[in-house]
């Protein structure tokens, strides 16, 4: 075992964990004040549920056995897990690898919630979380990283383009369609309720993403350094490009827009972080932004679906674009189109993306339908009308969201 590698993986695991509170703040800042607390709560409750499911069953099914689709129960409740050596040919113990991979599961589930905040029944989503983790995330993790069919095919997914972003984005969209649109739904973007939370959340996400991508090298080496550089430079290129496009279109220099661009760049580089050069990372950030920027608005307007905080738009579409660009810009050793002139890797990436979309959408739809037989997927109309924060949580992210504060303001205005 390499002590430096172990330290880096433990630090990276902590960084990835920090991304979920960051996502909670980012989502909460973007959300309407009537469901901002609900938005943050759904991200935070994932921090409790997912680690338990991962330790009990998830890790074993994802990273044990030789199945093409799923693993086995060899590491059920972390039995037979090595704490001082690796059975996976790594420089870190299996326990450190388990811990690091578990953080990915947490943030993936949290992303999904952004599509249905403010209108999904709490009991239904609490039941959905463990079922989705076992039936969608775990098989994908095994297929891509655990020796399954996509890994054997040669699909490139350095840190979670398929496993994390496409799966969560597509699943979020599917769940949003099942739950239905919000009352007074509009495809027009609303002004962020708390730009400070958006800024802090985005900063935590960007910071944590260094562990997300660079840590996926699973060692302190040149690949980790490359992934760190690519993560930052792709996000920087995407942030700048998104700002320019948005400024030209709206005439406003919007902080939330620039940060959204940075997030898209982080998503797009995730599957490619250790496979492309920094120059390619910049190009990926620049190329992806106009595709995501215009496609998100077009699809929401065309099909009138209510992806509340654009989980599908940023993560689903961004992940698909990133997966395709990975095949185009990957270095010669990884059979990229530009480096080799061969379309083979692009074909593999397309097939992996299609399989990921089918699995995520199909199983999410099935889970949602089964839950709806027991529990309504949607909260009552009266709760949604009055605001789920007031009716369910009784806590408010911002003081101006509090009914007591609103009553105080009205009293002052009438006096």
Residue 378 belongs to domain with CATH number: 1.10.3430.10
* Token pair recorded at residue 78: 């972390």
Tell me, rounded to whole angstroms, the distance of Cα 40 from its chain centroid.
15
| Residue 410 located in a structural domain | no
Please, which residues have CB within 8 angstroms of residue 365's CB and are 6 or more apart in sequence? 174, 178
| Residue 404 located in a structural domain | no
* Token pair recorded at residue 268: 């797009």
Please, which residues have CB within 8 angstroms of residue 279's CB and are 6 or more apart in sequence? none
Q: What is the DSSP string of 298-350?
A: HHHHHH----TT-HIIIIIIHHHHHHHHHHHH--GGGT-HHHH--SHHHHHHH
For residue 192, what pLDDT band results from cuts at 50, 70 and 90?
confident
| Residue 398 located in a structural domain | no
Let me know: does 58 contact 133? Beta carbons within 8 Å. yes
| Residue 399 located in a structural domain | no
| Residue 254 located in a structural domain | yes
| Residue 331 located in a structural domain | yes
| Residue 109 located in a structural domain | yes
- The pLDDT of residue 185: 77
Q: What is the DSSP string of 238-286?
A: HHHHHHHHHHHHHS---HHHHHHHHHHHHHHHGGGTTTS-HHHHHHHHH
pLDDT at 191 over 80: no
Question: How far apart, in whole angstroms, are the C-alpha atoms of residue 402 and residue 396?
Answer: 6
Task: Give the CA count within 13 Å in the CB-facing half-sphere of 358.
Answer: 6
Render pLDDT for 39-60 as a digit per residue (tens, 0 to 9): 999 999 999 999 999 999 999 9
Residue range(s) defining the domain that contains residue 169 = 3-391
* Token pair recorded at residue 409: 């303001």
User: Once rounded to an integer, what is the mean pLDDT over residues 101-105?
Assistant: 98
Q: What separation, in Å, do the N-terminal and C-terminal C-alpha atoms of the chain show?
A: 72
User: Which residue from 268, 262, 355 is spatially nearest to 317, judged by alpha carbons?
Assistant: 268
Percent pLDDT > 70 in the chain is 94
The C-alpha angle with vertex 88 and arms to 94 and 332, in degrees rounded to 5, equals 125
Given the structure tokens 């099914």, which residue do they identify? 61
pTM: 0.95
The C-alpha angle with vertex 212 and arms to 356 and 152, in degrees rounded to 5, equals 40
- The pLDDT of residue 248: 97
- The pLDDT of residue 396: 85
| Total structural domains within the chain | 1
Given the structure tokens 């113990």, which residue do they identify? 93
Percent pLDDT > 90 in the chain is 90
65 in the Ramachandran plot: left (φ > 0), alpha (ψ -120 to 50) or beta? Answer: left
In what helix (H) or strand (E) does residue 140 lie, and over which residues does it extend?
A: helix 138-145
- The pLDDT of residue 184: 78
User: Which residue from 235, 168, 244, 166 is spatially nearest to 207, judged by alpha carbons?
Assistant: 235
* Token pair recorded at residue 365: 């739809």
| Residue 408 located in a structural domain | no
Average pLDDT, the chain: 94
């Amino acid at each position: 075992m390499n002590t430096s590698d172990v330290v880096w993986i433990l630090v990276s695991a902590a960084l990835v964990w920090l991304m979920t509170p960051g996502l909670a703040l980012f989502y909460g800042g973007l959300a309407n004040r009537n469901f901002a607390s609900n938005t943050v709560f759904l991200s935070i409750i994932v921090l409790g549920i997912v680690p338990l499911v991962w330790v009990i069953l998830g890790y074993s099914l994802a990273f044990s056995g030789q199945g093409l689709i799923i693993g086995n129960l060899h590491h059920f409740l972390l039995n037979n897990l090595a704490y001082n050596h690796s059975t996976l040919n790594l420089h870190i113990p299996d326990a450190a690898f388990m811990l690091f991979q578990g953080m990915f599961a947490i943030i993936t589930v949290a992303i999904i919630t952004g599509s249905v905040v403010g209108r999904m029944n709490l009991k239904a989503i609490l039941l959905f979380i463990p079922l989705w983790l076992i039936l969608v995330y775990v098989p994908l993790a095994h297929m891509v990283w655990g020796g399954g069919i996509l890994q054997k095919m040669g699909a490139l997914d350095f840190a979670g383009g398929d496993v994390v972003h496409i799966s969560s984005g597509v699943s979020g969209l599917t769940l949003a369609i099942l739950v239905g649109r919000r009352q007074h739904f509009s495809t027009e973007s609303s002004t962020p309720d708390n730009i400070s939370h958006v800024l802090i959340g985005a900063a935590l996400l960007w910071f944590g993403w260094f562990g997300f991508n660079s840590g996926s090298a699973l060692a302190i080496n040149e690949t980790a350094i490359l992934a760190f550089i690519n993560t930052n430079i792709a996000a920087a290129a995407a942030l700048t490009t998104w700002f320019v496009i948005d400024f030209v279109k709206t005439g406003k220099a919007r902080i939330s827009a620039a940060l959204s661009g940075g997030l898209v760049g982080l998503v797009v580089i995730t599957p490619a972080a250790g496979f492309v050069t920094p120059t390619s990372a910049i190009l990926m950030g620049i190329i992806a932004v106009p595709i995501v920027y215009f496609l998100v608005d077009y699809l929401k307007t065309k099909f009138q679906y209510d992806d509340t905080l654009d989980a599908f738009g940023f993560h689903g579409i961004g992940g698909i674009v990133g997966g395709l660009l990975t095949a185009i810009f990957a270095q010669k050793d990884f059979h990229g189109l530009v480096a080799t002139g061969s379309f083979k890797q692009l074909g593999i990436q397309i097939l992996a993306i299609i399989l990921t979309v089918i699995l995520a959408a199909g199983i999410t739809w099935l889970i949602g339908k089964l839950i709806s037989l027991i529990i309504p997927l949607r909260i009552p109309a009266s709760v949604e009308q009055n605001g789920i924060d007031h009716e369910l949580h009784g806590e408010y992210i911002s003081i101006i969201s509090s009914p007591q504060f609103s009553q105080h303001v009205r009293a002052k205005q009438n006096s």
